[in-house]
Amino acid sequence: MTTAPATPKAPRGPSLPATVTPALLERLVARVSASPDAARVTTTAPYTGAPLADLPVSTPADVEAAFARARTAQRQWAATPVAERKKILLRYHDLVLARQDEALDLMQAENGKTRRDAFLEILDIGIVSRYYARTAATYLRPKRRRGAIPLLTHTTELRHPKGVVTVISPWNYPLSMAAGDTIAALMAGNAVVQKPDTQTGLTALWSMDLMYEAGLPRDVWQMVIGRGSSIGAALMDNADYMMFTGSTATGRQIAADAGKRLIGASLELGGKNPMIVLADADIDKAAAGAVAACFPSAGQLCVSVERLYVAESVRDKFVAAFVARTKKLRIGAGYDFGYDVGSLTTPAQLDTVTTHIADATAKGATILAGGRARPDLGPLFHEPTILTDVTPDMTLYDHETFGPVVSIHPFRDEEEAISLANAGSYGLNASAWSRNGARGRAVAARVHAGTVNVNEAFAAAWGSVDAPMGGMGDSGLGRRHGADGILKCTEAQTVAHQRIQGFTPPAGLHPEKWATLLTRSLKLLKAAGLR
Ligand code: NAD
């Protein structure tokens, strides 16, 4: 691993950038729905371990109060024409782009990721907000459906907002995860009460603050801060719909609780994502793609790759190219675009990464690159790590590490590659590489994953926001993006207006004759190819 020349030797790390002023912190902290005398929780900056912000901690009573305000505000918001909501969202889009430096600084300060990784979140939110601003009216407008009796039944499908939606988001993509799903819920006419992970609460609050500036009435989007064990129940008990992104373990709990309340829930959970390098892949491109797939946000990306399957015939060439590229990555802390790999976010993540690697090497895995924590760069840095000789008895063989660690496995033929990729309980994202696009797409369609990229790491599928994104198996339930992403935030209602004659026999007609008539009608409709 090389480090850029400017990397400070001492683990002091860079001081906070100029945009993260006390005034900004004060404004954001004041946006938390909590009482004035609330207890405080201190977050730390991953680059340095220094205290970053004191956030008020919301209580269950604060959550109840936020929902009460949200419920009142939602009625007005649902009556606001979609065209007005669209204007607000497009203003938010412009504000995010114009003020991106503030967001990049906050994301880096809270999460420890590189600026280029943080910028992907700006890009994501720009794409998602423009998409739902421009498409919501089409998704939400009343739609004529075929009536029960041709010409006589006038049937319309309506889409009503759910009401108040709870959004629970993790710390790994603080802007994307906080704002992406919320945008769809708001455009559908819902209010949102959100609990971002405390560690990255500032970025989430910044996003909400900008939406207020764009014109969103304040009570329509509110934010609470606190542990799931303390306010999770209140967030569930008051929700009309639950949008959760986080670990599979928590997702199962959320699903069980939503089931008890009979409310809908979408669950965007963990993964152990495979990448398949077929024998006819462009090896240089695949090696560059593997770097992009495995190490963004130091591997703390739900769709990043942790299992690499490479055709035996090109294995040596691929490994040489991948290892060489990985060793060139610049790892370090800096509020500029100078680094390729940043810090892990929490001591718990660093612990998982080092424990998984130690377990694997103790059981016979070989390190091809990286393998060490880098306290010389900052308290939570870890080198991008490539392993081989990884076997099923090692924890990281099939458990999500959520760090900059990937294992390489050879395969003999396409069938074996697909079967290896489909092993395990997850099914979030995957990637297949081939010079033959049709072959790549055919392999992709057989991989058990909600999104599969061909000759790309993850951004092709994630960025295709007109198409659904989400997990199969233990990776989740429901989808974000596209029609699914907004329609799940609505209640479908069918209004059927029966004109003149319904299914009961007209006065004076014997029911048996009526049944014969209807039977003939059914046959005629089928013969006419109508139904
Ligand atoms: P986590 O489940 O521990 O926490 C996620 C969020 O849920 C946090 O805000 C946390 O405070 C909250 N929470 C925890 N327990 C709760 C409870 N009982 N009630 C209500 N809220 C509760 O997950 P994490 O470790 O913070 O996040 C990393 C995980 O998220 C990884 O597994 C990653 O793959 C996954 N993830 C998935 C996606 C996706 O789109 N599928 C995206 C990002 C992250």
Q: What is the DSSP string of 182-215?
A: HHHHHHTT-EEEEEE-GGGHHHHHHHHHHHHHHT
Q: Tell me whether strands 490-498 and 153-161 are parallel, antiparallel or unpaired.
A: antiparallel
Our answer on whether the CB atom of 174 is closer than 6 Å to any ligand 1 atom is no
225, part of any domain = yes
- CA dihedral of residues 376, 381, 383, 389 (deg, nearest 10): 120
Query: Which tens digit of pLDDT belongs to each residue from 263-319?
Result: 999 999 999 999 999 999 999 999 999 999 999 999 999 999 999 999 999 999 999
Task: Judge whether residue 144 has pLDDT over 90.
Answer: yes
Measured by CA distance, the residue closest to atom 18 of ligand 1 is 228
> What's the 244 CA to ligand 1 centre distance in angstroms?
7
Domain of 210, CATH number, reads 3.40.605.10
Question: Are 386 and 409 contained in the same domain?
Answer: yes
In whole angstroms, how far apart are CA 333 and each of 3, 204, 382? 10, 22, 12
- Contact call for residues 185 and 480 (beta carbons, < 8 A): no
Distance CA(50)–CA(136), nearest Å, equals 43
Statement to judge: residues 233 and 342 lie in one domain:
no
Verify whether ligand 1 is closer than 6 Å to residue 45 (CB atom): no
Residue 306 CB–ligand 1 contact under 6 Å: no
Return the pLDDT at 501.
78
203: confidence class by pLDDT, cuts 50, 70, 90: very high
Which CATH number fits the domain that encloses residue 384?
3.40.309.10
- Total domains in the chain come to 2
Q: Which of 41, 110, 197, 273 to mutate to test the pocket of ligand 1 (most atoms within 8 A of CB)?
A: 197
- For residues 365-376, average pLDDT: 98
| Together in a domain, 131 and 277 | no
Q: Mark whether 263 and 136 lie in a shared domain.
A: yes
C-alpha–C-alpha distance, residues 194 and 335, integer Å: 28
What is the mean pLDDT of the segment spanning 464-475? Answer: 98
263 and 286 belong to one structural domain: no
Q: What is the pLDDT of residue 11?
A: 52
Instruction: Tell the residue nearest (CA) to atom 17 of ligand 1.
Output: 228
Q: Is the minimum distance from the CB of 172 to ligand 1 under 6 angstroms?
A: yes
Range of the domain at 172: 22-269+484-490
- 414 part of the active site: no
Question: Could you give the 3-state DSSP secondary structure of residue 110?
Answer: helix
Q: Which of 102, 110, 268, 400 is catalytic?
A: 268
Question: What pTM value is reported for the model?
Answer: 0.95
Whether 448 is in the pocket of ligand 1, judged by its Cβ within 6 Å, is: no
On the question of pLDDT at 183 being above 80, the answer is: yes
Q: How many Å lie between the centroid of ligand 1 and the Cα of residue 268?
A: 9
